[in-house]
């Protein structure tokens, strides 16, 4: 395979925008797709993969290429080095690079994990301190390419019908659970009638396990207190057979607007959105929820494979602030759970300090009357999906 000059420029430009201009990776990729709508699905996939590879392995590629990029031309050195390390045939195009020197530089890194896995030193030290002998396998798994998973919307269809519909557009996959469909041959998912008619949502399998963990039933009053753009709220609505009430809360009005649009497409009419403008929003809902979901803001380290730029954005100060926020949400938002109800605390983090240790601190504070009914930790190396944590609590 040969890479065109146009593709080289697009890959390097997008990577530079992320690492030098602090744009988000998915937005930079989408910008290139809009600017090059003549690309085929295969070309789009290749370009996106190489952009993410440059971002993911930025530190490593700087070392083996001998360049800390400033110009787009400098980024071409990193791209060439990346393709050589991938043993991609297109690496031969970059004749200004010595394949032997690139491979020798990589070999010389040896067992320096932070360099080989291309992460900041502070993150490597933190992962080792928190996960011990599990950290090496965890960070290696977080550098693998992410799977593309769909959740079938059972309010509109079932998995066999969705699979058959997508096959008509050469989008192939394998069912891995009742509602989860693993895409193996990608296509233009968002232009299919199945998407436009709300037959599915893109959602990783680990994330799909959160809503069932809340043990909802039709007719319940459920509060999703950190709803965002609503992936889990939509899943809850499907599990409730679109019967009952879901109150979706968030501090970001734009995200809730996205939720409303998604709910309309999915045929969901039991979700009410409310912007959290002050503590009064929470107080008005005191002891009113049969089920409460706290999918709290977190480091996002469990989804690092699909957000590789997060390793360069996150720092220890931000992480500490995030942990304080998690404690505040546990102390204040849990008051919305009624006696006899249940709540789930969830994160997309692999750090114990954001997960079960937060729950232990909350329970030991003396300001609560809950107990843990069940907890689940999902590490990315366990099943090959995102890292997640969930803990189900009940009032005592």
Domain ranges for the chain: 5-110, 148-202, 205-395
Determine the 3-state secondary structure of 32 from DSSP. Answer: helix
Q: What are residue 118's phi and psi, to 5 degrees?
A: 60, 60
- What six digits make up the tokens of 273? 């959105």
Per CATH, the homologous superfamily of domain 205-395 is Vaccinia Virus protein VP39 (3.40.50.150)
Confidence (pLDDT) at 224: 98
Question: Confidence class of residue 46 from pLDDT cuts 50, 70 and 90?
Answer: very high
What percentage of the chain exceeds 70 in pLDDT?
100
What is the dihedral angle through the alpha carbons of 114, 120, 123, 129, rounded to the nearest 10 degrees?
40
- Helix, strand, coil shares of the chain, percent, nearest 5, are 50, 15, 30
Confidence (pLDDT) at 48: 95
Pairing of strands 180-185, 370-378: unpaired
pTM of the predicted model, to two decimals? 0.94
**Beta strands, E only, 296-359:** 337-347
Is 348 annotated in the active site?
yes
Candidates 222, 210, 149; CA nearest to 376 is 210
Confidence (pLDDT) at 369: 87
C-alpha–C-alpha distance, residues 11 and 335, integer Å: 48
192-232 per-position pLDDT tens digit: 999 999 999 999 999 999 999 999 999 999 999 999 999 99
* pLDDT score of 59 more than 90: yes
Distance of CA 250 to the CA centre of its chain: 18
Q: Within 13 A of 50's CA, how many CA atoms are on the CB side?
A: 30
Confidence (pLDDT) at 35: 95
What percentage of the chain exceeds 90 in pLDDT?
95
Which of the two residues, 163 and 368, has the higher pLDDT score? Answer: 163
306-328 per-position pLDDT tens digit: 999 999 999 999 999 999 999 99
Residues 259, 248 contacting (CB under 8 angstroms): yes
Residues 66, 80 contacting (CB under 8 angstroms): no
* pLDDT score of 275 more than 90: yes
Neighbour-count burial for 173-207, b at 16+ CB within 10 Å, e otherwise = beebeebbbbbeeeeebeebebbeebbbbebbbbb
- What six digits make up the tokens of 33? 């797709």
From the options 3.30.70.1170, 3.40.50.300, 3.30.470.20, 3.40.50.720, give the CATH code of 148-202.
3.30.70.1170
- What six digits make up the tokens of 310? 């997060």
1-43 per-position pLDDT tens digit: 789 999 999 999 999 999 999 999 999 999 999 999 999 988 9
Question: Confidence class of residue 68 from pLDDT cuts 50, 70 and 90?
Answer: very high
* pLDDT score of 241 more than 90: yes
Q: Which candidate in 62, 226, 298, 348 is catalytic?
A: 348
Candidates 393, 281, 262; CA nearest to 337 is 393
C-alpha–C-alpha distance, residues 384 and 146, integer Å: 8
């Amino acid at each position: 395979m040969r890479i065109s000059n146009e593709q080289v420029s697009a890959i390097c430009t997008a990577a530079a925008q992320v690492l030098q201009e602090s744009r988000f990776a998915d937005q930079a990729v989408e910008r290139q797709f809009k600017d090059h709508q003549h690309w085929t699905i295969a070309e789009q996939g290749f370009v996106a993969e190489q952009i993410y590879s440059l971002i993911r392995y930025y530190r490593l590629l700087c070392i083996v290429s001998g360049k800390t990029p400033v110009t787009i031309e400098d980024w071409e050195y990193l791209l060439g080095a990346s393709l050589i390390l991938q043993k991609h045939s297109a690496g031969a195009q970059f004749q200004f690079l010595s394949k032997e020197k690139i491979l020798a530089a990589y070999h010389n890194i040896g067992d320096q994990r932070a360099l080989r896995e291309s992460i900041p030193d502070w993150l490597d030290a933190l992962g080792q301190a928190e996960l011990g002998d599990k950290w090496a396998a965890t960070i290696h798994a977080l550098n693998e390419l992410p799977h593309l998973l769909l959740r079938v919307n059972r309010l509109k269809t079932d998995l066999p019908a969705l699979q058959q519909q997508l096959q008509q557009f050469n989008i192939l996959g394998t069912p891995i659970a009742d509602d989860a469909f693993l895409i193996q041959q990608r296509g233009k998912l968002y232009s299919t009638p199945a998407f436009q008619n709300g037959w599915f949502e893109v959602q990783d399998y680990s994330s799909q396990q959160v809503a069932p963990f809340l043990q909802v039933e039709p007719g319940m009053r459920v509060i999703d207190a950190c709803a965002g753009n609503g992936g889990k709220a939509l899943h809850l609505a499907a599990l409730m057979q679109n019967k009952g009430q879901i109150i979706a809360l968030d501090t970001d009005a734009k995200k809730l607007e996205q939720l409303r649009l998604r709910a309309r497409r999915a045929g969901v009419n039991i979700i009410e959105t409310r912007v959290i403008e002050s503590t009064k929003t929470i107080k008005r809902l005191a002891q009113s929820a049969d089920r409460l979901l706290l999918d709290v803001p977190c480091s996002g380290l469990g989804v690092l494979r699909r957000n590789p730029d997060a390793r360069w954005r996150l720092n220890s100060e931000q992480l500490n602030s995030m942990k304080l926020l998690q404690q505040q949400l546990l102390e204040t938002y849990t008051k919305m759970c009624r006696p006899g109800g249940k709540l789930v605390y969830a994160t997309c983090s692999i750090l114990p300090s954001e997960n079960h240790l937060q729950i232990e601190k909350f329970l030991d504070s003396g300001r609560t009357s809950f107990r843990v009914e069940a907890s689940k930790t999902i590490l990315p190396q366990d099943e090959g999906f995102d890292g997640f944590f969930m803990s189900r609590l009940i009032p005592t």
